[in-house]
Structure formats: structure tokens, C-alpha cells
Chain A
Amino acid sequence: MQTTSSSADTDVQADNLRRAAIDKSVKGPVLFLFLNGAFWLMASTILGVLAALKLFAPSFLGDCPVLQYGRLQPTHLNALVYGWGVQAGLGVMLWIMARRSGQELKSGKSVLYVAGIFWNIAVTLGLLSILFGGSTSIEWLEMPKWVWPIMLAAFLCFAWPMTTMFARAFRPEGFMVSTWYILGACFWFPWIFVTANVALHCLPGLGAFGAGVNAWYVHAVIMLFFAPVAIGSAYYFIPKITGQPIASSQLAQMGFWALACLGGWTGMQHYMGGPLPAWMPAIGSLASVLLLVPVGVVGLNHHLTTLGKHHLVASSPTLRFTFLGALFYPISGVILALISNFTTGPTLQFTNAWYGFQIVAVYGFFSMSVFGAIYYIVPRLTGCEWLSVRLIRNHFWFSTYGIATVVITSLVAGVQQGGDLNHPEMWDQDFYQLVMNTQPYIIARAVAWGLITWSNIWFLVHLMLMVAGLGRRSSAPTLLHHGHDESSLPHGAHA
């Protein structure tokens, strides 16, 4: 008896040491990515407020060309996608990949720092170029064409060590769904990014087909980069916090391969009824609706894994954010199906609903999952606990209500706008009615982004304090709820 218990103790200790060594090996680059990402997130939400205000009152802040809607809106979305999304995503991917495959980051840490710095320089210059008149007006690729090779190289510097970790730890019998998704994201993003950039910036001009490639790019980045990172993170943290294994490995595999097969077909339905050959929007529409299958399967699997442990959602910040993010995955899928099918699609085409989809996917689904991951990862890297329960709670509720408002108002505005555009009475009217009808929604959007900005400023401050090592010195994690259930957090949740 005595011996087994002490050997178990040694095992736990050895495990903890191994984990600490892995954490230490990736600490610098991961924190660098999180901190810069949080900065860009705050910048993006402030730009979101400004863009909404300028859409409603175009002369607000004067007629300065730098702050016109046509330049602000792309800057806002590019900051969200490349400044925050890809950057914070890389941080989460690197940490989960290292932990899940049990590999330390052996060498090349300085390469990661340099890559991170160059990524941020590229994003800064790219966004400034959009504001100062260098926009290409190609959605999500508005940054000037010299930016993408730098970003690609920086991304590959991060993708390479992740791939080697994955390859070293690959075990056919021990199926690891979270690292599958993360490796997929490492693999798909550069492919999509190179294809779209070469096609749109280097080929001699694709005309209207270029617009189709662009729509494909946006959808593919959402479905094959943002979605896999967020799902991978949810598959890692939900079992970890609840202490229950993933409910079904069959469902997990099915969800993965269905997403992998369908994701690349989506996109062209964005221009349904347009100049593209008719089969392209048709197949895009088909794939987007079929995506409901993997989306539902993953949603079901997450639900089954959380089943019976829902009280932990109240106490664990990580699980709370991850749970909400996981909840937004089916919602994003349904919205995608709504804007993509040929029945409701033409009404929602060219309306605010498209903005609503981008935000629900990148912010509601992806960012919420990443927040959850950050609340788990950072204390383990900095060796101190989150300072304030109130700040985390603020962050959660302001983000949740803010995002829900942005998404719901955008969708309703889209229905209104699409109805106006397709109303028979509109045939000889100017756009007066349409402008007046969308105004309330745009004001609501500005207010909502304001709420989110408030939450993000505090998130950034909180994160900065943590990185500076000024967190709580305690062995107990910061929980949102100090109740009877605190002791029921499984041991693994602290590791």
C-alpha cells in the first residue's frame, strides 16, 4: 500500500514537472502573441465603434479621408482577423500542441520571437496603408500586396515547430482530436492564404472570377482556420475542466473529416445570381448547408461531454468562455446556412447580415473560445493567478451581450435591408427608406462595440498585469463562483 501510494505521488510529481518544462519552453512566444493580439483586439473594437458611427453620421469627426467608412470598415475587420484572430490563434495552437503532444519546444524560440515581431510590423504597416489610401478593396485582403509574403513567412515559422511536435507524438491508436484540428489549421491557412494572394495579386487579373476567389478565401479562412482552432481548443479544455473524456471519438472523427471535405467548397455562393458560372455558387450553397452536419455533430459531442457538469460553467472562467464559444459554433453554422441557400440567401445578400456572419464566426465563436483558452493558459505560464474575479466577469458579460447585440441587430437589419431592396415599391425609389430603416441598427451596433471595447480594455490591462508577473500569488485558481462546488473541480483542471 505504502509503496503504490508513494509511487503514484512520484508519478504526479513527474507529470507536473514535465508540464512545467513544456510550459516554460513556450512561455515567451505564447505570451507575446496573446499580449499583441489583445492590443489589436482593443484597436479593432474601437475601430468598430468608429466605423458604425461613420456609417450613421458620415460627417462625424469632419470629412477627413483617413476616417471615412470605406477605409475604416476594412481596417476594423483586418485588425480583428490578422491582428487578433490569427495571432492569438497561433498562441493557443502552440501551447495546446506542445502540451497535448507532450513535447517541449526544443529550439528556435528566437525565430518565433522574430516571426511574431515581423507579423506585427506587417499588420501595423498594412492597416496604416489601408487608412492612408493603399486599400485594395479586396475583402480581408485590403492590405497592400507587399504585406502578405511577410505574414506568410511569419506564420510558417510558427507552423513548422507545431508540425514536428505533432509528427513526433503521432499515435494512431491514441486519437487526439484537438491536435488534429490544430494541425489542420496550421496546414490549411498557408495554403488558402497563398492561393488567394497569388491569384489576386500576382496573376494578370481575374475580373469577376477574382471576386469569387475572394469570397472563397473569406469562407475558407473562417471554416478552415478559425473554426478548427476554436474547436480544437474546445475539445481540449472541455474534457480537461469537466474531467470527463470526449463523449464519442466516432463523432469527433466524423466532424473533423466532414469539415475538411466541405470547407474548401464554400464561398462562391456569396455572389449567387452573379457573373460566376452558375455551378460555383450552387456548389458553395450546397456545401454551406451540408456543413450543418459536422457543425451539429461537434455541437452534440461538446454537449455530451459537458453533460452533468454544467455547474462548472458558473465557476470556471475557462469553461464559461469555451462553453459560450462552443455554443456559438452551431449558431454560426445556422447563420451561414441562412445566408447561403437560394431561398433566404438572395434577401440577405449584400446586406448587414454578411457582417453579422463574419462577427459571429470570428468574434462570437472563435474569440470566445480563445478567451477561454487564454484564461487557462496564462496563469500556467506566468506562475500567478488572475487578479480579479470582477474583471473576468465584466469581460464575459460585456462581450456576451455586446456580441449578441452586434450579431442580432446585423441579422435583423439584413432582413429589413434585403426586404427593402427587393420590395416591388422600391422600383423607382431612391435609397431614402433604406437608409432610414437601417439607421437604428447601426446605432445599436455602435453602442454594442462600445460595450465590447470597455470589456477589452480591461481584458488588456488584466493580461498586461499578469504578464508583468503582478497576478495573485496563490495555488488556488481564480474562480468566478466560490460555492460548494469548488471542491468538485477535478484535479486535472488545476494542472
Chain B
Amino acid sequence: MSNFRTFILALTASFGFPWLCLIIIPAIKYQALTPVAYDKDKDGVEGFYPPAPINRQGQLTYAREGCAQCHTQMIRPTQLSLDGWHKGWGQDQEARPAAPVRSNTLLDYLGEPYAFLGVQRLGPDLTNYGWRAPSRQEMHVMLYAPRQRHDWSNMPAFKNLYEVRLAQGPKSELALKLSKPFAPEVGYEVVPTPEAEALVDYLLSLKKDNPIPGITAAAVKK
């Protein structure tokens, strides 16, 4: 390094090259991505891929509570892991589906400001949770009192998303069906706040295994 300017130039070049190739150009290219239309003749379905965006309001709660610390949203291909064969992790809820759940593509997350692919997998993968989700009522119970269903669960209880209130008049149909020791005192009921409803809407909107135009769609049709 003959002088200061050369040194700085070398620093810039050595880091700027990966920066440009790995971050800047792909980020610009990403802006051009748009939903792809299905071909009715070839794919057998109509509409667009991906069909509908996720529920953003609920995703904000998902981010705020740090759900991604323990739940992933990414199915890996079968050559790397057995994610695709896990029961119920795709649209097909059969015990032994004919084909594994497909791994995800960039377009699956189109329209999300940030995709929460996840930090660790301490709880089940949620990529296609919308397909296997129980009723809204049961989902609320799972969020409010995770250990009512599994006493070994290490999921936090998100009581801050629920309101415990004095039961007045006829019992609200939204009230959570809780058993001892999770039930509130007699005369009280637990109802979800709008945030909890949004979070459930978001979880229900997680269906990221739609057929890919020209690839899996045609295979499914056969």
C-alpha cells in the first residue's frame, strides 16, 4: 500500500464488491417483483401467485412479542431436512401425504415488509400454519394459556393481549373456554383484545405453499 489513498481505495473495493453484488443489485431487482398470473390451461387454477398478502396488523404484534425468536416460517427442501415431510406442515393434513411440502421461494413472501424467517425452531414451524390451525377460539386459548393444552409447553402466555373483565349480562361468545387453573375468578371472563384478533388473523393467513405457476401447479394437476 503505497499511500493513504490507495489503502482507502483497496478497503472500499474489497468490501464494496460484495456489498454491490449481494445487497444493492438484488435489492433493486427485488423492487421489480410482481405477482405472477396462473395459466388456466397449464396450471389448472386461476388468479395470481402469491394470491393474498398476509395480515400486516397482526404481523406487527408477531414482531413486537418476538414470536420469531422461537418459531420459523421457512420450509427447507427435502435434500437438506425433513421439514417437508412433517405432518400437517403443508396444505395436505393427511398423516402420510403423497408429496412433501414444497420449500419456499422469494415470491411466497411478496408484499411483506419483512419476512420473519425466524431465529430458532423451539416451537413448530408456522409457514403454513393457516392450513392446520384449529378454531379461532382454540387459538386464543393457546395464546392466553399455552399450558392448558400441553402442560410441558415452554411458550410464554400472552396475557397482555387479553382482557379479564367482569362478566355482565349474557356470557360473551368471545370469552375463552378456560379450565382450572387458567380460568379467571368466578364472575369474570377473558376476552381477546383487537390485537389478539389481529394476531390470530395473521396466523390464519399463513399459507405459503400455493402452487408455483408452471412448476408445482402442473404437477398437482396430474
List residues of chain A with CB under 8 Å of any chain B CB. Answer: 54-56, 58-59, 63, 65, 68-71, 73-74, 133-139, 142, 166-167, 170, 172, 180, 183-184, 187-188, 191, 195, 199-200, 203-214, 216, 224, 257, 260-261, 263-265, 267-268, 271-277, 280, 283, 342, 346, 349-352, 354-355, 417, 421-424, 426-428, 430-432, 434-436, 438
Contact = CB atoms under 8 A, between A and B. Distances in A.
Given A58-B155, A208-B115, A210-B114, A136 B66 contact: no
A275 B118 contact: no
20 contacts: A59-B147, A63-B158, A65-B159, A136-B63, A137-B62, A137-B66, A137-B67, A187-B11, A200-B114, A208-B106, A208-B115, A264-B17, A273-B77, A273-B80, A274-B103, A346-B80, A350-B120, A421-B121, A426-B86, A430-B150
Contacts of B64: 133-135, 137
B120 A352 contact: yes
A127 to B, nearest CB: 13
Contacts of B150: 430, 432
Contacts of B122: 55, 417, 431, 434-435, 438
A274 B23 contact: no
Contacts of A422: 81-82
| 10 nearest CB pairs, A to B | A70-B66, A264-B18, A273-B76, A205-B113, A65-B160, A137-B63, A350-B121, A207-B109, A208-B109, A208-B115
Contact of A342 (B8, B80, B82, B152): B80
Contacts of B91: none
Contacts of A195: 19, 23-24
Contact of A275 (B104, B155, B160): B104
A43 B103 CA distance: 40
B62 to A, nearest CB: 7
Contacts of A71: 65-66
A431 B116 CA distance: 20
A192 to B, nearest CB: 8
B89 to A, nearest CB: 9
Given A195-B23, A264-B18, A277-B106, A58 B118 contact: no
B1 interface: yes
Contact of B74 (A58, A167, A275): A275
Contact of B103 (A203, A212, A273, A430): A273
Nearest to B195: A133
Contact of B66 (A73, A203, A205, A427): A73
Nearest to A433: B152
Contacts of A133: 64-65
A260 B14 contact: yes
B124 interface: yes
A263 B70 CA distance: 28
Interface of B: 1-4, 7-8, 10-11, 14-15, 17-19, 22-24, 26-27, 30-31, 62-70, 72, 74, 76-77, 80-82, 85-87, 95, 103-106, 108-124, 146-147, 150, 152-160
B154 to A, nearest CB: 5
Nearest to A137: B63
Given A70-B69, A206-B30, A216-B23, 7 more contacts: A54-B156, A58-B153, A191-B19, A267-B22, A272-B80, A275-B108, A280-B26
Contacts of B157: 58-59, 63
B14 A205 contact: no
A486 B67 CA distance: 54
Contacts of A212: 26
Contacts of A272: 76, 80
A466 to B, nearest CB: 35
A68 B11 CA distance: 42
Nearest to A139: B119
A150 B70 CA distance: 30
Contacts of B154: 55-56, 58, 435
A208 B104 contact: yes
A47 to B, nearest CB: 13
A429 to B, nearest CB: 8
Nearest to B20: A264
Contacts of A213: 23, 27
Given A63-B156, A350-B120, A351-B120, A73 B111 contact: no
Nearest to B74: A274
A205 B114 contact: yes
Given A206-B114, A208-B117, A216-B23, A58 B81 contact: no
B177 to A, nearest CB: 19
Nearest to B113: A205
A180 B7 CA distance: 9
Given A209-B30, A422-B81, A427-B85, A69 B112 contact: no
Contacts of A274: 74, 76, 103-104, 117
A204 to B, nearest CB: 8
Contact of A260 (B15, B63, B72, B76): B15
A135 B63 contact: yes
Contacts of A180: 7
